[in-house]
Amino acid sequence: MSLPRPPSLRGPERRGLGALVRRSALVRRFVPGETLDDALAAATLQAALGIGTTLTYLGDPPRDPADTAAVAQPYLEALDSIQERGLPCELSVKLSQLGRDARADRCEGVLETICARAARGPTVVWTDMEAPAAVDATLGVFRRVRERHPHLGLCLQAYLRRTTADVESLIPLGVALRIVKGSYRQPRAAAYRGRRAIADHFFRLGARLLASDARAAGVRAVFATHDVGLLGRLRDHARSLGLGRDAFECHMLLGVRRGYQRRLATEGYPVRALVSYGEAWLAWYVRRLAERPANLGVLLRGLLG
């Protein structure tokens, strides 16, 4: 799976296009708005349906990564609001936005600050996984910070062959792991090719996380995909092991497969929707569109209508 790069629009160019695209009902369905209040309003509605929320802030990469207080600020603000309102929200962060690519030690400091504030909840903080070239750096920061902050979880990508070994090394630590298919360009040799091969690897990883030793170690297994066939296989597998409904946790994007999300929640399975907000939402949104070209037609109809 190789996706086009998101556009890197800046300033007025981005605001103009952003304003145009934002009018579409499809965008509003996926991105409730740019502000934290918009995201929290969506989380409140989700909570009423029994669906939790993972908030992800989409800001521009830090202008000055050395200003660690400024880099941490949006996340601390989100945590304070989540905790004040008692919302069932978790947070997901991209280490590139915390300045990982400039200096890993500074990024680690910012993540520590975020995790320390999250511990007051406690609120789980997820570490997103980005491009393959950044996997080692992300794992390094994650492992070091996780030693002091047990509420830090990690996303791993099923399209990467190495993820089997990464999962094995993390299971004894009892980590919260969110498995996704993966959405960045990957080097041919490092990745599985084709939907079937990626879904099969996803299933094997999921089955491994549901195994008795992983559960005994305290692993929290999260399956973040809209592939309901794959989710069905994982759910059947959890059932065949005699596991309770809490073992099958599903995360999706806000607005995708809404009926399925609601059904799972009604049946008592843990479900979360990823809610994005922040001024850099457009590049993220274009990536999501690229994942499902059929959405383009709906977007165009919304813009022209």
> Does residue 184 interact with ligand FDA by CB under 6 A?
yes
User: 273, 53 in Cβ contact below 8 A?
Assistant: yes
Q: Among 5, 103, 195, 263, which residue sits at the site for ligand FDA (rule: CB under 6 A)?
A: 195
Q: Among 45, 134, 256, 298, which residue sits at the site for ligand FDA (rule: CB under 6 A)?
A: 256
Size of the site for ligand FDA (CB under 6 A): 23
129 exposed, middle or buried (CB, 10 Å; 0-12, 13-18, 19+)? buried
| Nearer to ligand FDA (CB atom), residue 99 or residue 202 | 202
**Catalytic residue flag (residue 178):** yes
> Does residue 182 interact with ligand FDA by CB under 6 A?
yes
CA of 196: how far to CAs of 51, 188, 200, 203, 215, in Å? 29, 16, 6, 10, 27
**Catalytic residue flag (residue 38):** no
CB of 274 to ligand FDA, least distance (A): 4
| Beta bridge partners of residue 155, listed in sequence order | 178
Dist. CA 247–CA 211, nearest whole Å:
10
Q: Among 117, 201, 220, 288, which residue sits at the site for ligand FDA (rule: CB under 6 A)?
A: 288
Dist. CA 90–CA 124, nearest whole Å:
5
> Does residue 200 interact with ligand FDA by CB under 6 A?
no
> Does residue 26 interact with ligand FDA by CB under 6 A?
no
User: 16, 300 in Cβ contact below 8 A?
Assistant: no
CB of 141 to ligand FDA, least distance (A): 14
> Does residue 239 interact with ligand FDA by CB under 6 A?
no
User: 99, 110 in Cβ contact below 8 A?
Assistant: yes
- Location of structure tokens 């280490």: 95
> Does residue 78 interact with ligand FDA by CB under 6 A?
no
> Does residue 220 interact with ligand FDA by CB under 6 A?
no
Q: Which stretch binds ligand FDA (CB under 6 A): 20-28, 99-107, 133-141, 225-233?
A: 225-233
39 Cβ contact list (under 8 Å, min separation 6): 32, 33, 53, 55, 78, 275, 276, 277
Annotated catalytic residue, options 100, 117, 146, 178:
178
Would strands 249-253 and 152-157 be described as parallel, antiparallel, or unpaired? unpaired
Ranges within 124-163 binding ligand FDA (CB under 6 A): 128-129, 155, 157
> Does residue 201 interact with ligand FDA by CB under 6 A?
no
CB of 1 to ligand FDA, least distance (A): 7
Roughly how many angstroms between the first and final C-alpha of the chain, as a whole number? 32
User: Using CB under 6 A as the criterion, which residues of the chain lie in contact with ligand FDA when the complex forms?
Assistant: 128-129, 155, 157, 180-184, 195, 224-227, 251-253, 256, 274, 288, 291-292, 295
Catalytic residues: 128, 178
